[in-house]
Amino acid sequence: MRTNVQLRELTMDERLSVEKLARSRTAETRLAERAQIILAAANGDRPSRIAEGLAVTRSMVYSWIKRFNADGLDGLHDLPRSGRPATYSAAAVAAVIATALTKPQDLQLAFGSWTLDRLATYLNQQKGIGIKRSRIDDILIAEGLRWRTQETWFGQKVDPDFAEKRGASKRSTRHRQRKVS
């Protein structure tokens, strides 16, 4: 009795690749399972027997055989899934990363290092990229960059004019007068 779907004849290279993938312990489980379906079909097993042996549905066996017939080994991989399009273009993300890696002094800015707020303000005002600090943080983390949250206060100050810009210190408590005895 003929089934609804027949696996096309495999080339020698395809057969070797499918066998390797079906036995693989490091490949994704779903890819190995799909390769096992194709290998069983290539060995002449019926789709119902393949489904029973691998504990999958017959319709799943049919769909992977169809995908393999159409696209070969590439057909065993997942198709891109639909979803929300990227909020920021690749150029905007590249500008965020490039700016974060640039010293503020090289851009004639008055501070010694970036903070997320400074970076967001600069990107919005100078580059025209309206981006929130939380998204900047996500982009930098995804790029593998560790974010420094504060400037150093050890050794030489980051801003040489810090003392002048800061102004006079204010006392938080009133000066206590001493009693004269």
- What pLDDT score was predicted for residue 99? 93
- What pLDDT score was predicted for residue 40? 95
- What pLDDT score was predicted for residue 169? 66
Q: Locate tokens 């580059």: which residue? A: 127
CATH number of 12-76: 1.10.10
> In whole angstroms, how large is the CA radius of gyration of the chain?
31
The ranges assigned to domains in the chain are 12-76, 90-149
- What pLDDT score was predicted for residue 10? 92
- What pLDDT score was predicted for residue 50? 94
**pLDDT block averages, 10 residues each, the chain of length 181:** 79 94 93 96 93 94 95 92 86 93 90 89 93 91 73 55 70 70 66
- What pLDDT score was predicted for residue 68? 95
CA distance readout (Å), 35 to 5, 50, 60, 126, 163: 16, 12, 13, 52, 68
Are 36 and 54 in contact by the 8 Å Cβ rule? The answer is yes
pTM of the model: 0.50
Give the DSSP per-residue string, the chain.
---S--PPPPPHHHHHHHHHHHH-SSS-HHHHHHHHHHHHHHTT--HHHHHHHHT--HHHHHHHHHHHHHHGGGGGSPPPPP-PPPSS-HHHHHHHHHHHHS-GGGGT-SSSS--HHHHHHHIIIII-----HHHHHHHHHHTTPPPP-S---SSS-SSTTHHHHH-S---SSPPPPPPP-
